[in-house]
Amino acid sequence: MKKTNIQWHPAFVSAMQLEFKEDRGKLSFEKEHNLNTKPLQIDLLIVRKENDWNTGNEIGKLFRKYNIIEYKSPKQQLDIDVFYKTQSYAGLYKSYGETLDGRKAKDITVSIVRDRKPKKLFQYFAEQGIGVENPYGGIYYILGEVLFPTQIIVTKELAGRQHTWLRALTDKIEIGDMHRLLKDTSHLEGKLDKEFADSILEVCLRANRQIIEKLEGDDTMSEALLEIIEPLIEPMIAERIEPMIAERIEPMIAERERILEIRFQKETKEEVAKMKKEGIKDTVLLLHKLGHNNDVIKTAIMEQYHLSDEEAAKYL
């Protein structure tokens, strides 16, 4: 079975849109923001439209005017080099303002998001004496060695009820989180919000295929929730079944083609043999009419059609 490429980053952008659903009118979301003309991109840039904006979302407590978000999917590393690379992105973003110091350093923040806590990175912070503060569940402020206010967000540690969308971006989702994701999705009304939720759901289901069987056999699942996931599950089931069917059918097709080829070759040989016999008979008849005796005719057809003495005698 071919490996499916899971599109984590678009789903992350959708999750952030839903995380700040109540504040969306006061924020601008720019996914894959290009840094100058070089092939460097910020995963997500959130620009605050109003200076006096306040949010109830703990993730946004650190936000200022320009907020650079780096997302790491479950299989991607978050180590010290990635940490400093993100700081460098923020530095480049600051330096590429339209005017000199057009983007103030004090107006820029950095957020790095991952589903599990990067233990080696936090170990590095401890060894280097870099302060870390944990003001909210799953949110860690880095207090030293940074040019800009920086937070690391561990989505697995975020409060489930408040951060359904981000917690869903994992390859080890728990059944309770999946139920909450489906229920929250069912409560969405706007077309755009539903599209964001579908993006998250699809990635979540693709990354947690084992959960599909549990959901299908879960008696507590309401019909309404099943209706949400069925359109997403059906293509995934087809992806799993099609290679299995192909694996069984391909040998059958190959055997059928082999039989047809053998039959074709046999029929071709028979046709050629029939035409050869008719040609020999016509030659014998013509030579008889020209007055040749059997010995002459026999010698002639043996040479012309590569016949043995016995084979040639049958035509006389």
Percentage of the chain with pLDDT > 70? 83
Asked if residue 312 lies in contact with residue 301, where contact means CB atoms within 8 angstroms, the answer is yes
Q: Which residues neighbour 129 within 8 Å (Cβ) at sequence distance 6 or greater?
A: 144
45: Cβ contacts below 8 Å, ≥ 6 apart: 29, 30, 31, 33, 66, 67, 68, 69, 93
Look up residue 128 and give its amino acid. Q
Partners of 30 in the β-ladder: 45
Residue 313 — very low, low, confident or very high, per pLDDT cuts 50/70/90?
confident
Among 118, 109, 117, which residue's Cα sits nearest to residue 138? 117
pLDDT at residue number 2: 45
Instruction: Report the pLDDT value the prediction gives residue 108, as an integer from 0 to 100.
Output: 96
- The string of pLDDT tens digits covering residues 125-177 is 999 999 999 999 999 999 987 899 999 999 999 987 889 999 999 999 888 88
pLDDT interval class at 236 (50, 70, 90) = low
- CA 20, 23, 24, 29 torsion-angle sign: negative
- The packing angle between helices 175-186 and 223-289, to 10°, is 100
pTM flag (> 0.85): no
- Cβ atoms of 167 and 158 within 8 Å: the answer is yes
- State the average pLDDT over residues 183-207: 88
CATH topology of domain 8-221: tt1808, chain A (3.90.1570)
The first and second tokens of residue 12, run together, are: 């992350």
Domain boundaries defined on the chain:
8-221, 251-313
- Return mean pLDDT, the chain: 83
Whether the per-residue pLDDT at 234 is higher than 90: the answer is no
Q: CA 11, CA 204: separation in Å to the nearest integer?
A: 9
Q: What is the mean pLDDT of residues 41-62?
A: 90
pLDDT level of residue 117 (50, 70, 90 thresholds): very high
